[in-house]
């Protein structure tokens, strides 16, 4: 019987890429995002890989989101072997200008729902004596970043909470992995108006490359992983900097501006865009400061827009041709657009 992975923020960015990697390892999937149409379309394409997919349209800013998702999973008779909390978004700008609704929603999505989902799915894992949890943090958890103050603080929570929980569960058979991606080429920099920020111009990673590193860290049961050598160097060197220098570095890397971003617009991280999270008229994703998009919007590769439909068709079609071994994961998997041998 195939094992099942649940992924929040499943319809774009790192979340979408992780779904493909799980499918290539023959995992059934429970996919969570706000956009029902995008979820159904993704589910149809994933089912072409001979896996079972249960899409759940749910807004993680709803206080009852974790309960709703857990109930749907129970009703479907699913046992979740792997939980991936990838959903999140960033209401960037000067904190004093953020509407209270944005603050409440962001904390609900990135902190409260993550902790509640971890709790409700952890208990069955403990009863079975095995399971894996992946919580997505960010390089912004490593140092304060002005004009993304709330987002960075939420990611500090994710990092601290998940690292401590991993220790608590050390001898239970359940692993908790925290990943801190750096800038990743998704919709985020364009939607936030910072596509020319140094973090994306000079230090960004491809979404697929990031997803592979995340997937491997999860499957190896690593407690905490930082993606990319320059992010690893940065996470070490920042500890040696005085706080004033850390703040200046954060401002420079993110292209921080003193005027706030426009809060009008529409929707959940690797999810769709939240009503307050993007500029008016811009295509949507809940975008997080580390750059991994949370759900959906037009796909981007190497920083250039592409047609989502054509791209998804190409990506899923590549899974259909042959099977081969891929190092570090165990088992065999259909060849997909993501090359396992590059990293």
Number of Cβ within 10 Å of residue 192's Cβ equals 26
HSE of 34, CA atoms in CB hemisphere, 13 A: 25
Predicted model pTM: 0.71
283/13: higher pLDDT:
13
Reported as a single tens digit per residue, the pLDDT across 26-53 is: 999 999 999 999 999 999 999 999 999 9
205 pLDDT band (50/70/90 cuts)? low
Residue 37 confidence (pLDDT): 97
**Alpha-carbon separation of residue 253 from 136, 167, 328 (angstroms):** 20, 32, 33
Range name among 42-46, 78-82, 209-213, 246-250 with the lowest pLDDT average: 246-250
What is the number of structural domains in the chain? Answer: 1
214/241: higher pLDDT:
214
Burial class (CB in 10 A: 0-12, 13-18, 19+), 202: exposed
Reported as a single tens digit per residue, the pLDDT across 258-312 is: 444 433 333 333 433 344 444 433 333 333 434 444 443 333 333 333 344 444 4
Which tokens in the block code for residue 103?
């603050």
Residue 141 confidence (pLDDT): 62
Q: Can you give the residue range of the structural domain that contains 153? A: 4-342
Q: What span, in angstroms and rounded, lies between the C-alpha atoms of 152 and 256?
A: 13
Residue 246 confidence (pLDDT): 53
Residue 209 confidence (pLDDT): 83
Positive or negative, the Cα torsion across 194, 200, 206, 211?
negative
Query: What's the chain's average pLDDT?
Result: 73
Residue 63 confidence (pLDDT): 97
138 pLDDT band (50/70/90 cuts)? confident
CA angle, 40 as apex, 50 and 284 as ends, to 5°? 125
- Which are the catalytic amino acids? 137, 151, 155
Which DSSP letter does residue 255 get?
A: T
Burial class (CB in 10 A: 0-12, 13-18, 19+), 342: exposed
Reported as a single tens digit per residue, the pLDDT across 75-127 is: 999 999 999 999 987 776 788 999 999 999 999 999 999 999 999 999 999 99
Residue 200 confidence (pLDDT): 47
Q: What span, in angstroms and rounded, lies between the C-alpha atoms of 134 and 147?
A: 27
143/222: higher pLDDT:
222
Residue 224 confidence (pLDDT): 83
Q: Is the pLDDT of residue 225 over 90?
A: no
Q: Is the pLDDT of residue 336 over 90?
A: no
* Residue 191: strand, helix, or coil: helix
**Alpha-carbon separation of residue 21 from 46, 91, 159, 191, 211 (angstroms):** 11, 29, 24, 26, 8
Q: What is the CATH number of the domain that holds 234?
A: 3.40.50.720
């Amino acid at each position: 019987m195939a094992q099942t992975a649940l992924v929040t923020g499943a319809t774009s960015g790192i979340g979408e890429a992780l779904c493909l990697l799980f499918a290539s390892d023959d995992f059934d999937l429970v996919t969570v995002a706000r956009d029902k149409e995008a979820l159904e379309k993704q589910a149809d394409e994933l089912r072409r890989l001979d896996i079972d997919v249960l899409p759940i349209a749910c807004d993680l800013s709803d206080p009852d989101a974790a309960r709703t998702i857990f109930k749907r999973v129970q009703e479907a008779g699913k046992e979740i072997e792997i939980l991936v909390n990838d959903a999140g978004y960033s209401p960037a700008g000067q904190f004093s200008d953020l509407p209270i609704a944005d603050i409440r929603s962001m904390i609900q999505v990135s902190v409260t729902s993550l902790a509640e989902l971890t709790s409700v799915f952890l208990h069955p894992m403990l009863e079975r004596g095995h399971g894996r949890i992946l919580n997505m943090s960010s390089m912004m958890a490593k140092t304060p970043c002005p004009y993304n103050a709330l987002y960075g603080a939420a990611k500090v929570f994710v990092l601290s909470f998940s690292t401590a929980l991993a220790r608590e569960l050390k001898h239970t058979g359940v692993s908790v992995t925290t990943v801190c991606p750096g800038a990743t080429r998704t919709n985020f920099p364009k939607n936030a108006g910072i596509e020319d920020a140094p973090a994306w111009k000079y230090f960004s990673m491809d979404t697929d490359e990031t997803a592979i590193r995340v997937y491997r860290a999860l499957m190896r049961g690593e407690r905490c992983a930082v993606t990319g050598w320059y992010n690893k160097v940065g996470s070490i060197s920042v500890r040696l900097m005085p706080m004033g220098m850390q703040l200046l570095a954060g401002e420079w890397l993110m292209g921080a501006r003193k005027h706030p971003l426009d809060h009008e617009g529409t929707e959940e991280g690797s999810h769709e865009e939240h009503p307050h999270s993007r500029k008016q008229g811009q295509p949507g994703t809940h975008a997080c400061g580390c750059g991994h998009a949370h759900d959906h919007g037009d796909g981007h590769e190497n920083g250039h827009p592409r047609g989502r439909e054509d791209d998804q068709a190409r990506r899923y079609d590549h899974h259909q041709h042959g099977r081969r071994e891929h190092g570090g994961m165990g088992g065999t998997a259909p060849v997909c657009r993501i090359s396992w041998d590059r990293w």
